[in-house]
Amino acid sequence: MLKLMMCLIALSSSANGRPLAESLDYAYHIIILFGRALTWKEGLAFCLAHLPVIAIILALPMDKWFAKWELIEDTELKTADNNKAAA
């Protein structure tokens, strides 16, 4: 158990045998957004905060909205529904 804990500590504090930097200095798009470089924990929280947003967007009925706004034809939507029913 002790060896496992030591391995986890070693993996979390180094990358390719080198120690991790204190902040994410190379994430320029995030630096522009926040005005400073984030720490690793803040960067991880920033990434994890996007997962619910992505899940919500993927769950939206965009195909029906696109058909309503005439961005796709209704026949494409009906074909997709027929394929689901046949499966």
pTM strictly above 0.75: no
Q: Is residue 57 part of a domain?
A: yes
Q: How many CA atoms lie within 13 A of 12 on its CB side?
A: 9
| pLDDT score for 20 | 73
Q: Is residue 82 part of a domain?
A: yes
Q: Which of 27, 66, 59, 32 is nearest to 43 (CA)?
A: 27
* Helix H or strand E encompassing 44: helix 40-59
Q: Is residue 16 part of a domain?
A: no
Q: Is residue 4 part of a domain?
A: no
What residue numbers bound the domain in which 47 lies?
Answer: 23-86
| pLDDT score for 68 | 86
Q: Is residue 14 part of a domain?
A: no
Domains contained in the chain, number: 1
| pLDDT score for 26 | 85
| pLDDT score for 1 | 61
CA angle, corner 30, sides to 14 and 51, nearest 5? 80
Q: Is residue 13 part of a domain?
A: no
Backbone region of residue 53 per phi and psi (left: phi > 0; alpha: psi in -120 to 50; beta: other values): alpha
Along the chain (87 residues), what's the average pLDDT of each consecutive run of 10 residues? 60 65 86 92 90 94 85 67 71
Q: Is residue 63 part of a domain?
A: yes
